Amino acid sequence: MAAPLTVGAWGFFAAVSLLALLITASAGGALPQSSVVGTGSGHFIETGGPFELSVNARGEGSRAQGHVRGSGDYAGEFQVEGPVTCMLVVGNRASIKYRFRRSEGPGAPPQNGGVQVYIEDNGRPVNGVPVDRVATEPPQPPESFDAAAGVCTDPTLNPAWNRIESGDYVVRDAG
């Protein structure tokens, strides 16, 4: 029968395990991260105005990082862009919140406000026709957005999907 590990042995075992984890991470073996990358364009269901949405984000929750850029004509032309404040990926769907560091145009929402958008990755375009979908919640002014900027809604609960007309998104769920 093997001798039980002492406190000193447990400490040594923990230190060796931590060192192995750090070496693996520094050698490019870091844990996988959820991500969303792509650009899509189409027309808003409500107004018929055009939109384009570009996303490059990785991570989960309030630790997510990345950048989003949107433009279009909803109730006037707008261009917005800014950093990701939250992301939640569930399977092929993602919800992403981002802050408007730049917000321009007659239909632009308030600068430093933000919005939550949804992406659904249904694979590569079929015969040149995109199969991915997007959705968005109404933009929020800074004081409303700040209250929950780091909390994303479950993307599987969004019923108001809008099929994109060009582009492609890739959603990766790290599990």
Q: How much of the chain exceeds pLDDT 90, in percent?
A: 75
Distance CA 120, CA 144 (A): 26
**How far, in Å, are 45, 59, 91, 96 from residue 85 at the CA level?**
26, 10, 20, 8
Stated pTM of the model: 0.81
User: pLDDT (tens digit, 9 = 90+) per residue, 17-70?
Assistant: 434 444 444 445 566 899 999 999 999 988 999 999 999 999 999 999 999 999
Phi, psi of 87 (to 5 degrees): -150, 140
Residue 171's nearest CA partner among 119, 136, 126, 116 is 119
pLDDT computed for residue 123 by the predictor: 96
Across the chain, mean pLDDT equals 87
Name which residue leads in pLDDT, 101 or 47: 101
pLDDT computed for residue 29 by the predictor: 53
Distance CA 160, CA 17 (A): 47
pLDDT, average across residues 127-139: 94
Distance CA 100, CA 131 (A): 28
Residue 41's nearest CA partner among 70, 77, 80 is 70
